[in-house]
Amino acid sequence: MTYPVRHPQLFYTTAPLPCPYLAGKTERKVVTDLSGPDADILHNRLSQAGFRRSHAIAYAPVCHQCSACIPIRLPVGRFRPDRTQRRIFRRNADTDCFDVPPCATTEQYELFRKYQSARHCSGDMVAMSFQDYRGMVEETPVETCICEFRDAEGRLIAATLTDVLNDGLSAVYTFYDPDMQHRSLGTYAVMMLAEFARRQKLPYVYLGYWIAQSPKMAYKARFRPAEILIRGAWRELEAQTGALPA
């Protein structure tokens, strides 16, 4: 009897680069290739261990003397929107949400460019061409979709590139119309992902990394009860203070 040859999974560490979230810090990542017939299985395991996906690569931070990036996920069965989040939900009652295949469109790209120019004008992604955006969306070895959010006139106002895991949905990247601040579309997108996961009987929405010191990333702790990955175990983020569990 012959058995398939299993090649070892190789992990690499990137060179230090300036941290995009904390001034004066540098970041390093451990990365691995997700390509191959077992990509979904590997992606599920790595996501549960705090990794994120970009294209066909899974990565996690391994920064020297810094552990500010903390994996965070939302248990959808226990999620209860607070008063502000309930108002945001009602404010977007005229919005329709659709799951579409991971195929880049000009409409998405124009919204993506507008978002980058307004919210991340000093970041690397602001210079992405349509082909770069297409690669971000379409170069995926795992089950992926785009959640599009459209207003009553059918205009695309937000989108979330989303991976489907065996235990939840992973929000890879969200962008939205920066002229519609009154809608709080980033918060609304997270709540809708939680609803989509609940309908599919998936227990979690993975939200990437929570960074308490970064205004761009600290908002994730407002979704309660959130769970964070500490020393290899998922534990509830303390409700009142947002503090790390002991």
Question: Which DSSP string corresponds to 57-86?
Answer: EEEEE--TT----EEEEEETTT----HHHH
C-alpha 107/C-alpha 113 separation (Å) is 10
What would the DSSP string read from start to end of 147-185?
A: EEEE-TT--EEEEEEEEEETTEEEEEEEEE-TT-GGG-H
Q: With 60 as the cut, is the pLDDT of residue 2 above it?
A: no
The more confidently predicted of residues 218 and 99 is 99
pLDDT at residue 215, as a whole number? 83
User: What is the helix (H) or strand (E) element at residue 43, kind and residue range?
Assistant: helix 39-48
pLDDT band at 124 (very low <50, low <70, confident <90, very high): confident
* 127 located within any domain: yes
Q: Identify how many contiguous H helices and E strands the chain contains and give both numbers.
A: 6, 14
C-alpha 53/C-alpha 232 separation (Å) is 19
* 204 located within any domain: yes
pLDDT at residue 244, as a whole number? 56
Question: How much is the pTM?
Answer: 0.92
Q: With 80 as the cut, is the pLDDT of residue 25 above it?
A: yes
pLDDT at residue 240, as a whole number? 41
pLDDT band at 44 (very low <50, low <70, confident <90, very high): very high
| Mean residue pLDDT across the chain | 93
Q: Which domain holds residue 166?
A: 72-208
pLDDT at residue 26, as a whole number? 94
Total domains in the fold of the chain: 1
* 98 located within any domain: yes
* 129 located within any domain: yes
CA angle 43, 238, 71 (to 5 degrees): 20
Residue 149 is part of a domain; what is its CATH number?
A: 3.40.630.30
* 232 located within any domain: no
Least confident of 45-54, 107-116, 117-126: 117-126
Percent share of the chain, pLDDT over 70: 93
User: What is the helix (H) or strand (E) element at residue 198, kind and residue range?
Assistant: helix 185-199
pLDDT at residue 245, as a whole number? 55
The mean pLDDT of 93-111, rounded to a whole number, is 97
Residue 111 tokens read as 């919204």
pLDDT at residue 135, as a whole number? 97
* 12 located within any domain: no
C-alpha distances in angstroms, 2 versus 5, 7, 61, 165?
9, 15, 39, 31
Q: Is 241 exposed, middle or buried (0-12, 13-18, 19+ CB in 10 A)?
A: exposed
Residue 53 tokens read as 């996906």
* 28 located within any domain: no
Q: With 90 as the cut, is the pLDDT of residue 7 above it?
A: no
The neighbour count for residue 95, using CB atoms within 10 Å, is 18
* 103 located within any domain: yes
What would the DSSP string read from start to end of 88-113?
A: HHHHTTT-EEEEE-S---HHHHHHHH
The mean pLDDT of 40-54, rounded to a whole number, is 97
Evaluate the CA torsion angle 203, 207, 211, 216 in order and state its sign: negative
Evaluate the CA torsion angle 149, 227, 65, 232 in order and state its sign: negative
The mean pLDDT of 120-145, rounded to a whole number, is 91
